Structure 1
Amino acid sequence: MSNALKLSAGSTVGLIACSDGVRVENQPKVEELIRILKSFGHEVVMASTLFRRDGYFSGNPKERATELNRLFKNDEIRAIFDISGGDSANQILDYIDYDNIRLHPKPFFGMSDLSVILNALYTQSNSKSYHYQLMNLASSDGVEQQASFYRTFFEGQNDLYDFKYHWIRGNQMSGRVIGGNIRCFLKLVGTRYFPDPSNNILFLESLSGRANKIVSLFAQLQQLKTFDKCAGLILGSFTELESNNEFSIVEEYVKEISRIPIVKTNEIGHASNSKCIIIGEKNDVVK
């Protein structure tokens, strides 16, 4: 996969929480992340909607979207990193200024619940976004992640893009990547933000969910005829499912309900050593 983003010392980046706000007790981790970014030579702009105020939220939906729009409109900001997760990101979709983003595209990073925004940016602004959690830089795998991040986005290498995989069915697939966290991706069904799967590669992963839950989500995709249209399926890590040794149940079900090429990788998902995949980017996967 080609590197679609190049950063350099002196670049300004933005931090935001479009889903549930960051817990105040996690402020030291955020400060560590900012220190790491500054060690790369970055200037950091923080959204006012970053930490939780009352309950789960760092602001109401319109406030969070306004801050996101502000970061996109700031020409000095080279990339935007969402460091949140949870359940709240789809609340802001109707308030995002997609017309401005289409005219002034900017890399947006996030994962898990941010899957709704990654795909909305693709469907409404035809812009690429990055399924990646920047907080990995300040995680238990931080040293390795920082090195991979620097090589990928400063030196133009493919460290974070090159993931190991094995084939479940087939030997090649080609298309633009859509998807993300399976539960959150399905929030978009029936809305204008749900991407057309036709001739695209569907990427799916999950943090929570035993076999019964994950199978039910795949059944919904099958009933939407998603697997009849897409060019292939990339299965990332399914953390709870795999920790309970139940992935084989889901694998057999997916093979039963589809006829498309399928690959499995353990290197993209919720783990702190996870790699990056670009939503909206053309990807060729071959054996």
Structure 2
Amino acid sequence: MTANLKLSKGDKVGLIACSDGVREENSLEVEALIKVLNSFGLEVVVASTLFRRDAYFSGAPKVRAAELNRLFNDDEIMAIFDISGGDSANQILPYIDYNRIRMNPKPFFGMSDLSVILNGLYTLGNINSYHYQLMNLVYSDGKEQQNAFYQSFFEGHNDLYDFQYKWVRGNHMSGIVIGGNIRCFMKLAGTSYFPDPTNKIILLESLGGRANKIVSLIAQLQQVGYLDKCAGLILGSFTELERYNEFSVVEEYVKEISESTKLPIVKTDEIGHGSNGKCIVIGQEIIL
């Protein structure tokens, strides 16, 4: 397993889009992000598959995977940041070179639809990956995010890792973290990229979806045997669900279906699609 990321001035980092390509109209945000990274002393290597070329994609699946493999194989690049999202990331899973990545590991950052790659890298590549959206550095909480990013990845503090939470059930959980965006994570069900949940902590969060959709996805998670095997559940932010004040519906359902095992559950508003989002490491043990 890789250790937590430690960056230094002069390091190179990669910028890529493995899901839907970044829209051209967002190029100014990308430029602002690169300026922030440059201000930290980082040199940014931009993948050829960053912006959309046709329709939604920054390249064909094999092309996007080849760019990701290239960044992993480049010994000068210390970390890879995927700033995309959408629906397209699982297209590249069969073309990722997991054997080479296992021999040449480095931190990969992404979230939302990138949950499929975060978990695939852990399951087949045996490396840690980081559930975090780098674009937070230039969003509404940008100054706070920039400070937490620098303190965590340059100074070795825990600013970006420490998240506030409350207990829904229990008072202790420990295990390796898997999961991410629930809609995207469930794309892996039945595939070799779906991690074994035994004694794992499952993170679930979502941008879209009201109570009926989220409950449906959690029901699927239970029906594939996940909730009977895991050691705990972290419920992150569910943006649309909480905007409609429907989280209590999901909370009660989760408690009901896991009553027999007394599954430990926590709720946090600091992991998910909010601009204040913290970072959690997929593939690393956590103790709450």
* TM-score under structure 2 length normalisation: 0.98
Q: Which of residues 268, 276, 284 is equivalent to 1:281?
A: 284
Once residues 5 and 90 of structure 1 are traced to their aligned partners in structure 2, the CA distance between those partners, rounded to angstroms, is: 25
Once residues 44 and 237 of structure 1 are traced to their aligned partners in structure 2, the CA distance between those partners, rounded to angstroms, is: 30
Query: 1:140 Cα deviation (Å)?
Result: 1.2
The 8 Å contact of residues 210 and 244 in structure 1, kept in 2 or not, is answered as yes
Task: Look up the match of 1:93.
Answer: 93
Query: 1:230 Cα deviation (Å)?
Result: 0.1
The 8 Å contact of residues 10 and 42 in structure 1, kept in 2 or not, is answered as yes
Q: Which runs of 5+ in 1 are unaligned?
A: none
Task: Look up the match of 1:151.
Answer: 151
Task: Look up the match of 2:136.
Answer: 136
Is the partner of 1:172 in helix, strand or coil?
A: coil
The 8 Å contact of residues 3 and 158 in structure 1, kept in 2 or not, is answered as no
Task: Look up the match of 1:261.
Answer: 264
Once residues 224 and 96 of structure 2 are traced to their aligned partners in structure 1, the CA distance between those partners, rounded to angstroms, is: 26
Task: Look up the match of 1:8.
Answer: 8
Is the partner of 1:105 in helix, strand or coil?
A: coil
Task: Look up the match of 2:160.
Answer: 160
Task: Look up the match of 2:49.
Answer: 49
Once residues 132 and 119 of structure 2 are traced to their aligned partners in structure 1, the CA distance between those partners, rounded to angstroms, is: 14
Task: Look up the match of 2:18.
Answer: 18
Once residues 25 and 80 of structure 2 are traced to their aligned partners in structure 1, the CA distance between those partners, rounded to angstroms, is: 23
Once residues 44 and 166 of structure 1 are traced to their aligned partners in structure 2, the CA distance between those partners, rounded to angstroms, is: 37
Matches within 5 A, 1:101-250: 101-250=101-250
* TM-score under structure 1 length normalisation: 0.98
Q: Say whether residues 1:271 and 2:271 are aligned partners.
A: no
* Cα shift readout 1:162-206 (whole Å, capped 9, x = no counterpart): 000000000101100000000000000000000000000000000
Once residues 268 and 29 of structure 2 are traced to their aligned partners in structure 1, the CA distance between those partners, rounded to angstroms, is: 28
Moved over 4 A (4+): none
Is the partner of 1:151 in helix, strand or coil?
A: helix
Read off the aligned partner of 2:245 and give its amino acid letter. Answer: N
Is the partner of 1:149 in helix, strand or coil?
A: helix
The 8 Å contact of residues 118 and 130 in structure 1, kept in 2 or not, is answered as yes
Is the partner of 1:146 in helix, strand or coil?
A: helix
Is the partner of 2:202 in helix, strand or coil?
A: strand
* Cα shift readout 1:207-248 (whole Å, capped 9, x = no counterpart): 000000000000001111111000000000000000100000
Once residues 141 and 173 of structure 1 are traced to their aligned partners in structure 2, the CA distance between those partners, rounded to angstroms, is: 30
* Cα shift readout 1:131-158 (whole Å, capped 9, x = no counterpart): 0000000111111100000000000000
The 8 Å contact of residues 111 and 133 in structure 1, kept in 2 or not, is answered as yes
Read off the aligned partner of 2:74 and give its amino acid letter. Answer: N
Read off the aligned partner of 2:156 and give its amino acid letter. Answer: G
How many residues are treated as equivalent by the alignment?
284
Query: 1:5 Cα deviation (Å)?
Result: 1.0
Once residues 190 and 222 of structure 1 are traced to their aligned partners in structure 2, the CA distance between those partners, rounded to angstroms, is: 14
Once residues 5 and 58 of structure 2 are traced to their aligned partners in structure 1, the CA distance between those partners, rounded to angstroms, is: 28
Read off the aligned partner of 2:225 and give its amino acid letter. Answer: K
Once residues 100 and 145 of structure 2 are traced to their aligned partners in structure 1, the CA distance between those partners, rounded to angstroms, is: 32
Once residues 253 and 118 of structure 1 are traced to their aligned partners in structure 2, the CA distance between those partners, rounded to angstroms, is: 27
Is the partner of 1:81 in helix, strand or coil?
A: strand
Is the partner of 2:173 in helix, strand or coil?
A: strand
The 8 Å contact of residues 3 and 152 in structure 1, kept in 2 or not, is answered as no
CA-based RMSD of the aligned residues comes to 0.9
Once residues 272 and 126 of structure 2 are traced to their aligned partners in structure 1, the CA distance between those partners, rounded to angstroms, is: 24
The 8 Å contact of residues 3 and 157 in structure 1, kept in 2 or not, is answered as no
Query: 1:107 Cα deviation (Å)?
Result: 0.1
Query: 1:3 Cα deviation (Å)?
Result: 7.1
Is the partner of 1:85 in helix, strand or coil?
A: coil
